[in-house]
Structure formats: structure tokens, C-alpha cells
Homo-oligomer: A and B are copies of this chain.
Amino acid sequence: MRTNTVKLHVGSDITVRAASACPIVAMLRPTSGLAQWLSSETYAFDPWVPTTEHVDVYGNLCQRMVVPQGEMRLRVEATVETEPELAVAPGAPYVAVDSLPDSALLYLLPSRYCPSDKLTSKAWQVVGDASPGYGQVEAIRAWINSSLSYRYGSSDASTDAAATLEQGAGVCRDFAHVGIALTRALQIPARMVVGYLHGLEPMDLHAWFEAYVGGRWYTFDATQSAARGGRVVLAYGRDAADVAFISNYAPLETVAMQVWVELAPPPGPLPPAPPPLPSASAA
């Protein structure tokens, strides 16, 4: 990651209600990644329940627990060093499929909400003569931003990218799905990202996408008019099916939820250092 970073304090405070014990898988704890370093975090719940954590096939940290009958509150906070400005690379070229890293191939395939196999003509129409690679993905992103309406309630948990294109409206998750589906239709790997964005209005958990061009993953956000840094990634996946912040396996209501992203105050000085060792020894 870069030397030039901004420190953000992010968090979610969620209260859920279960009519009966409800197993969940949560993805609420960020980890360090290519463009972020986790400085500190707190994962609290009330009531406390035994919880395990594992890493899924995408590298996400997942928390498994059972929400007991009644209400339960999860409050997760983190302080993260991240890039203040997004890496952009207008000339980054298309990477031919035979030159992709093995790990990127998964992100060429269609998925639940990104039926790229149905959208090839649409994708080529949208990109026109944009330059192969970054230029095409940016053309897709800009087209979504200017052509689709951002409208709450226009979609639900079953809406895929084809449906969003048809109705011409959606929310961040839908915009990301359209971006991913059109990008994959060009045989460019694309993946879903969920996390935090500094300055998002109104503040909420957010979704965007990444595409693999020019030898690395770049960030694209079709909900924003311009490239914008200050992001904290919570999870990666093929689409929203893989990265729900809570996957519940019995009925579960969200009764309260608050999300925040702030510039972290400059850290105070560390507590006094421990005294020097009697005779310094090699580590």
C-alpha cells in the first residue's frame, strides 16, 4: 500500500430481532488488504454469544453465531489507514484471458445477480470505441452513473443486473451488479465489493466493484460522478449473494442500524514506552 494514507474511523451498529434462534454468518470485520491497513477494531455484541470466525474462498473473514430469540445488538468499529484518492489508470490495457492470473478466472463467470452471459450485446454497445481495458470499464461505470436512476425501493433481494437494466433504476448494489455483469461480458474479471465510503450521502454500508485490467484490480463506483477514495473494504465476492453483511438462516428483522465513517482524530501519543532492557538483545 502507499505511503500517503488517510485514517478513517468506521463503524456499524445494528440491532436485529429473531422470533426464534437464528444462525447467521456476518462479514462485519475488515481485514488489512491491498489498499488498507487495519489499525484497530472492536467487535461487540449484546448479549454475548459464542462465535467462531473463518476465512471463506474469497479471503473474507466471516463470523458465525446464533442470534438468540429476541433482540441482539452488534456494534463493530474499526480504524483503518486507506488511500485518500482512488488509484486510476486510464490507459491500463485489457489483459487477454490467457494471461490472467489463475485466481482472476472465477470473476469472469456469470453469477446470481450478474448474468453476464445475457448481456454481451449491451456491453459492447455501452463501451463503444472506448480503449480496451480500463477505458471500457470506466465507460461502463460512467454510463451507469448517467443512465440509471438511483432510487430506493426500485429493487429487492431478487433483482439481478438484467432486471435493473430493464427498469432503469436501482441502488448501489444494483449499480455494482450492472457494472460487474457488463464488464464480465467483455471478458474482463469483475468482482463485488462491500464496505464503507467516506462522505457517502446518506451514510450507509456501500457496494461498488473492481475490475482486473493492466495487471491489477482497480476500483469503480457507478454511484459516484467522479473517482473517490476514502474506502474501507469489508468483503469481496462474485456478487451480493457472497457478501451480505449478515446472511440469516431463519427469519431476522433489522430493527435499528447506524453506520458511520469519519476522519480519525490524529492519534494521541502512545503511552510511555517500557524502559530499555538491561542489555539490549537481538530479536
Contact = CB atoms under 8 A, between A and B. Distances in A.
Contacts of A254: 277, 280-283
A98 B66 contact: yes
Oligomer copy total: 4
Contacts of A258: 274
B108 A111 contact: no
Query: What size tier do the contact residues of chain A reach?
Result: 35 or more
Given A50-B1, A52-B1, A112-B112, A158 B118 contact: yes
Nearest to A39: B43
Interface in A235-269: 241-242, 244, 246-249, 251-258, 267
A177 interface: no
Given A13-B271, A34-B52, A57-B57, 11 more contacts: A31-B53, A37-B53, A40-B44, A44-B267, A64-B98, A109-B241, A118-B158, A253-B283, A254-B277, A255-B276, A256-B276
6 contacts: A48-B81, A56-B105, A111-B241, A254-B282, A255-B276, A255-B277
